Amino acid sequence: RSVSLKNWENFVSPSAVAKTIKRYKETGSHEDRPRKGRPRVTSAAEDKFIRVTSLRNRTLTAAQIRDQVNATQSSSSRHISRTTVKRRLCESGLHGRIAARKPLLRTGNKQKRLVWAKEHKEWTLDQWKSVLWSDESKFEIFGSNHRVFVRRRKGERMDSTCLVPTVKHGGGGVMVWGCFAGDTVGDLFKIEGILDQHGYHSILQRHAIPSGLRLVGPSFIFQQDNDPKHTSRLCKGYLTKKESDGVLRQMTWPPQSPDLNPIEMVWGELDRRVKAKGPTSAKHLWELLQDCWKTISGDYLLKLIKRMPR
């Protein structure tokens, strides 16, 4: 026996060695014999058709792709199943996932987002912690946001072909305004009826500024989006006056950029916690929102802030 064969025996069982030697004597090769089994249903061309069809329209279901494949075959051909299509898609790395949601952006708004990112690229953690992040959000007893499934590969979650564009406004539920800074949540306020500039002005006076002073201190940085209520003459004048008094500093915010605001992640976490407790009414929902808001940990908030430089 050769030295290499002896070394091989140190890693392989004696029976495996014997079978391999026997196979080599019988076939002239150490490779496994062809195994019996069901032949592959699809051809290489069909596999490519399935993959390309999915890449052209990420929202197509396996059943829809199956129908397209079968429509191209002659009536005498064996039609493939939905399961086969799913298997071929997974082999290509195209797995079914819930589409991420992201607002549609015009070219000008994309440029403003880029400018904002460059202006804040070198910010320190302490600077990010001095920002009071604020926003309104709606919560529902039963979620009504329709989920859209797409086929995507690893790393394609935010690819433009795999996104669902979002628009403002939606169905009913409890509307709230909230804020946080650093590792601490601020006030959570329930909005009754339709929020107008006067209602938002009251929120600024009663909740936003008190929260900023309490969590950060004088000259805290106030973040808000460009909702018309926020940029109304009444509210803009009020904030400008407070800025001149040294109470706060206003952060310029790019249009249509909720994904840049870490409080969006907080809303998602709050929604998961509330849904887990099963709200049964609007009143119960508001009670759960208040309770769960207080349980948002400092470690979780700080983790969101540390991601901002990215």
pLDDT of residue 19: 83
**184 in a domain, yes or no?**
yes
**In the beta sheet, which residues pair with residue 176?**
137, 190
Q: How far is CA 78 from CA 73, 142, 256, in A?
A: 8, 44, 50
Distance of CA 148 to the CA centre of its chain: 13
Residue 58 shares a structural domain with residue 191? no
Distance of CA 245 to the CA centre of its chain: 39
Using a pLDDT cut of 70, give the percent of the chain over it: 85
* Domains in the chain, number: 3
pTM > 0.75: yes or no: no
Q: pLDDT by residue (tens digit) across 82-114?
A: 999 999 999 999 998 877 766 666 788 888 888
pLDDT of residue 148: 66
Closest by Cα among 132, 134, 140, 169 to 288: 140
pLDDT of residue 255: 87
**158 in a domain, yes or no?**
no
Q: pLDDT by residue (tens digit) across 3-46?
A: 455 444 455 577 777 888 888 888 887 777 666 677 788 889 99
Residue 115 shares a structural domain with residue 217? yes
Could you give the 3-state DSSP secondary structure of residue 135? Answer: strand
**150 in a domain, yes or no?**
no
Closest by Cα among 15, 73, 8, 7 to 42: 73
pLDDT of residue 259: 82
Indicate the average pLDDT of the chain: 86
pLDDT of residue 20: 82
Closest by Cα among 256, 184, 188, 255 to 220: 184
| CATH code of 113's domain | 3.30.420.10
Residue 31 shares a structural domain with residue 61? no
pLDDT of residue 245: 97
Which residue is listed with tokens 């290489």? 44
Q: Using an 8 Å Cβ cutoff, are 298 and 272 in contact?
A: no
Class of residue 71 by CB neighbours under 10 A (exposed 0-12, middle 13-18, buried 19+): exposed
Residue 53 shares a structural domain with residue 28? no
Residue 128 shares a structural domain with residue 214? yes
Measure the CA–CA gap between 188 and 210, rounded to whole angstroms: 12
**157 in a domain, yes or no?**
no
Residue 5 shares a structural domain with residue 127? no
Residue 270 shares a structural domain with residue 184? yes
**151 in a domain, yes or no?**
no
Q: How confident is the model at residue 73 (pLDDT cuts 50, 70, 90)?
A: confident
Distance of CA 278 to the CA centre of its chain: 23
Residue 83 shares a structural domain with residue 124? no
Q: Using an 8 Å Cβ cutoff, are 177 and 203 in contact?
A: yes
Mean pLDDT of 290-301: 97
Name the residue range of residue 177's domain.
106-145+168-306
Mean pLDDT of 49-78: 85
**75 in a domain, yes or no?**
yes
Closest by Cα among 230, 296, 306 to 267: 296
